[in-house]
Structure 1
Amino acid sequence: MVSINVLGEDYHDYISDAIPYFILFMGIELVVSIYKKKVGNIFSVSDSISSLSTGMSTLVLERLMPKGILSSIEFIGALYVYKNYRLLDTPEDSSLVWFISLILIDFCYYWFHRMAHEVNFLWSTHVTHHSSEKYNFTTALRQNIFQIYTSWIFFVPLGLIMPPKIYMFHKQFNTIAQFWIHTQAIDKMPYIVELIFNTPSHHRVHHGRNPKYLDKNYAGILIIWDRIFGTFEPEIEKPFYGLVHPLDSHDPTYSQVHNWFDMYEKSKKYKSISDKLKVFFYGPGWDKGLSRMGDSSMAPQPNEKEQKQRDPIPHSNIINVYIFTHYMVVSLTGIIMVSHFEEQVGSLNISLFFAFIYLSLTSFGAIFDRKRYAFHLELFRNILFIVATSPFTSATIQYFKVFYSLSLIFLIGKIFYPVLIKKLN
């Protein structure tokens, strides 16, 4: 059982339990999209691997940070308040308390999510999630590694009344419950469901870059908050996904930090301190002469032709299969190692492997972006694995060495064969 240690106590990690189901439903969604002959509109290998890579980046940073800091930061505030300043001793076995907690967690999530779109420096910790040009279950895992360092403050007041076990469950449940709304495979649902709950239709609007869809439908589980606070928009026209200004990169580091650089560059345009500060504390669409949130009607209206221009030139099938296979190998190995074999493998070795995972994600992104150094970096990555595991003699490691050796041969041919042909001609 995987647990989260918060203030010296262990709590169940429900999100880790959900990972196999995330993988299962991603597979089902892919099959459904193939059956409906819409796979090209819903998926691309580069976009999906990029989404999965940003999700894996969170696990990597959690592993490489001082133990417990990252995994517990989003829970510490509320639990500390409950242990030291609570107003009520709330029973943990009360059904009413559990129901009220679900409502309160979702209410706080709405305001965190809304502020993450309306305050530019908070948007910098959330923009990654919206950078996907496709919309499918993998998009749900495209998360920014810094978001939990800002989101936790919105949930601290709950510690005044909400007991730790209930808080830990519902905080994670709220995250897990939002996975299913990241899909195009589910059409609009019955009216009563669409009236109360956040659904795939409502959340497609939220991810749309259509001008009328910008900054709408912030709900987590319940859409009632958007209806109450005036941020609701129904799905009428076809949503086009991604950022108003496309990211144009699959690099896992750049996708996490690019808006910080954008804010800095934008702030240099202004002379007054107040205008410079507005770049960081007003909405990402703000400019001088506009309201705090900017003017969404100024955003370009997307269309099919423009979307095709945004889509990257696809790689060959053999490159896509190569990257997908290597991604699955490093990511699943890392998850299995940290979940079940830490004592046998050793904490240091697992941390080193997670650093290798991040190098792998960076290399995959470079290949997708067609960086001139991409295949040389990938060549180095394969050699590094073979050299680093040379002291180990277990049968499992030997299988991995064979896999990486075959990959090395493929890469050598990929890099040097075209050069040889060019010289011969």
Structure 2
Amino acid sequence: MPNLPDVVLWSIPAFVLLTVLELVSYRLHPDEDAAGYDTKDAVTSISMGLGSIGFDLLWKIPVVAVFTAVYELTPLRVPFLWWTALLMLLAQDFLYYWQHRLHHVIRILWACHVVHHSSRRFNLTTALRQPWTSATTWWFYLPMVALGVHPAAIPFCYGINLLYQFWVHTERI
């Protein structure tokens, strides 16, 4: 298995740059229909994003243990090649769809997800409003591991998906 980068960690400078550019665009070209930026709201979103990164470090220990155990128990092995990586991204996106959908309709899952929808603004900092627990999300990706996808590929694919999700959390695009 190749040493895969932490996509989200490497993207932080781009998140900061794009957020600043969006903020400047609101200052230079205000939109009457768009809410734009509010300092308290943006600081809250950024703080929630940083807290999420911190708490995710705690969740990684048991999640990696479970993923590794399942991976070791399955006889299947999917090599990490360019075309299998594309299939992994599709599979992760499919599972993400169901994870996200169920977080909107099952109350206990919604209780974890609602913090993401708690802003009155819709700008790039809103994408950073992430829950501080992965307890309700990681198990959606167990089928990929059971089918022979290496556990390290899951956060890599999830990170690429989050990069896309960043773009759809703004009124400017």
TM-score, normalised to structure 1, is 0.37
1:162 matched to 2:149: yes
Question: Which residue is 2:71 aligned to?
Answer: 82
Counterpart amino acid of 2:136? T
**Secondary structure of the corresponding residue to residue 137 of structure 2:** helix
Structure 1 142/73 Cα, relative in aligned 2: closer, same or farther at 3 Å? farther
1:151 matched to 2:151: no
Is the 2:141–2:154 Cα contact (8 Å) retained in structure 1? no
**Secondary structure of the corresponding residue to residue 82 of structure 1:** helix
Q: Deviations over 1:117-156 (max 9, x none)?
A: 111011011000000000000000111102x111111110
C-alpha distance in 2 between matches for 1:179 and 1:140: 5
Rg comparison, structure with higher value = 1
Is the 1:140–1:182 Cα contact (8 Å) retained in structure 2? yes
Question: Which residue is 2:20 aligned to?
Answer: 27
Q: CA deviation at 1:174?
A: 1.4
Identity between Structure 1 and Structure 2 (%): 32
| Larger RCO of the pair (alpha carbons < 8 Å, separation 6+) | 2
Is the 1:47–1:132 Cα contact (8 Å) retained in structure 2? yes
Q: Deviations over 1:36-62 (max 9, x none)?
A: 123972111111111112112224445
Question: Which residue is 1:326 aligned to?
Answer: none
- Greater shift after overlay, 43-52 or 159-168? 159-168
Q: CA deviation at 1:157?
A: 0.9
Of residues 80, 83, 100, the one that matches 1:92 is 80
Of residues 99, 102, 106, the one that matches 2:89 is 102
Question: Which residue is 2:51 aligned to?
Answer: 57
Counterpart amino acid of 1:92? F
Q: CA deviation at 1:71?
A: 3.6
Counterpart amino acid of 2:72? K
**Secondary structure of the corresponding residue to residue 112 of structure 2:** coil
C-alpha distance in 2 between matches for 1:176 and 1:77: 25
Of residues 114, 132, 140, the one that matches 2:101 is 114
C-alpha distance in 1 between matches for 2:172 and 2:105: 29
Of residues 160, 163, 170, the one that matches 1:173 is 160
The root-mean-square deviation of aligned C-alpha atoms, in Å, is: 2.2
Is the 2:78–2:150 Cα contact (8 Å) retained in structure 1? yes
C-alpha distance in 2 between matches for 1:75 and 1:178: 24
C-alpha distance in 1 between matches for 2:62 and 2:167: 25
Counterpart amino acid of 2:80? E
C-alpha distance in 1 between matches for 2:63 and 2:124: 23
Structure 1 51/37 Cα, relative in aligned 2: closer, same or farther at 3 Å? same
**Secondary structure of the corresponding residue to residue 113 of structure 1:** helix
Structure 1 138/17 Cα, relative in aligned 2: closer, same or farther at 3 Å? same
TM-score, normalised to structure 2, is 0.86
What is the total number of aligned residue pairs between the two structures?
Answer: 169
Structure 1 184/84 Cα, relative in aligned 2: closer, same or farther at 3 Å? same
Is the 2:102–2:109 Cα contact (8 Å) retained in structure 1? yes
C-alpha distance in 2 between matches for 1:43 and 1:90: 44
**Secondary structure of the corresponding residue to residue 125 of structure 1:** helix
Q: Which blocks of at least 5 consecutive residues in structure 1 are unaligned?
A: 1-9, 63-67, 187-425
Counterpart amino acid of 2:20? G
Counterpart amino acid of 1:150? T
C-alpha distance in 2 between matches for 1:124 and 1:108: 20
Q: Deviations over 1:224-281 (max 9, x none)?
A: xxxxxxxxxxxxxxxxxxxxxxxxxxxxxxxxxxxxxxxxxxxxxxxxxxxxxxxxxx
**Secondary structure of the corresponding residue to residue 136 of structure 2:** helix
Q: CA deviation at 1:116?
A: 0.5
Structure-to-structure mapping, 1:401-412, within 5 angstroms: none
Structure-to-structure mapping, 1:127-142, within 5 angstroms: 127-142=114-129
Q: CA deviation at 1:74?
A: 5.0
Q: Which blocks of at least 5 consecutive residues in structure 2 are unaligned?
A: none
Counterpart amino acid of 2:15? F
C-alpha distance in 2 between matches for 1:55 and 1:164: 23
